[in-house]
Amino acid sequence: MINGQVVAITGASSGIGRATALYLARAGAKTVLGARHEEGLSRLTEEIKTAAGQAVYRVTDVSRREDVQGLVTLAQKSFGRLDVLFSNAGAMPIGPFDDLAVDDWETMVDVNIKGVLYGIAAALPVFRQQGSGHFIHTASTAARKTVPNQVVYSATKAAVLAISDGLRQELAGNIRVSTILPGFTDTAFSEHVKSPRLKEEFQKAGQKFAMSPEAVARAVAYVLEQPEDVNIGEVTLRSKAQP
């Protein structure tokens, strides 16, 4: 049941995070929004409140442990608890190994892997104290199959899968853990790509078979709507057109 649940979302200012915040707020969730871009967070918060929903926000860089802790603390201070942490923030500055873009590799590790781990570190003690809680992590179909130029990104998302399933096994009982594996989604990820050629290829692929972020939001809602004794471990979804 979504109504009344306190849901913290990282990467909430755009794409999947924004769509999920709107969807869950309409279903009655109390949303706690985190992202690096305050302008987008402020607009989203006002949009939710205008529609009679509940939302608070905090500028959050998931590569900083104290920022993620601050988001969880905001949930507790604002609503008295935290029911769901949706670790959704991601980075995708893809490119070939020959570019030796070590800074980009580190960004993907810091955001895609450490961001998830920092979320676990912040929320797990809260969930343990409450005796309930739900971790949801955004991975990618790229975790299952990599292609040239996306290897480091795929590796970070494969790590998210491993972390999530190991966490699920350790916490089996009161705390649920789910992983969402979206295929090509209409988000701003192409802006992360520095090579003009790769960016153009990425954008053309998106025009052919990207699904809407709202489709992923519905998958998150499906996971949350399950009975308390059911844990959806993984949901993989892609557009019908994506090969």
Please give the Cα distance from 40 to 29 (Å, whole number): 19
**Could you say which of 23, 57, 118, 153 is catalytic?**
153
Buried (b) or exposed (e) across 3-38, using 16+ Cβ within 10 A?
eebbbbbbbbbbbbbbbbbbbbbebebbbbbbbbee
CA 121 vs. chain centroid, Å, equals 16
DSSP 3-state of 42 = helix
Q: Is 153 a catalytic residue?
A: yes
Helix (H) or strand (E) holding 47, with range, is helix 38-50
Closest CA to 224 of 182, 181, 177, 165: 177
What's the CA gap between 176 and 134, in Å, rounded? Answer: 5
Instruction: Show the beta-strand stretches assigned E in 67-170.
Output: 84-87, 133-138
Q: What is the DSSP letter of 36?
A: S
Residue 34 CA from chain centroid, whole number = 11
203 CB contacts (<8 Å, ≥6 apart)?
A: 190
**Which tokens go with 50?**
């205008």
Catalytic residues: 153
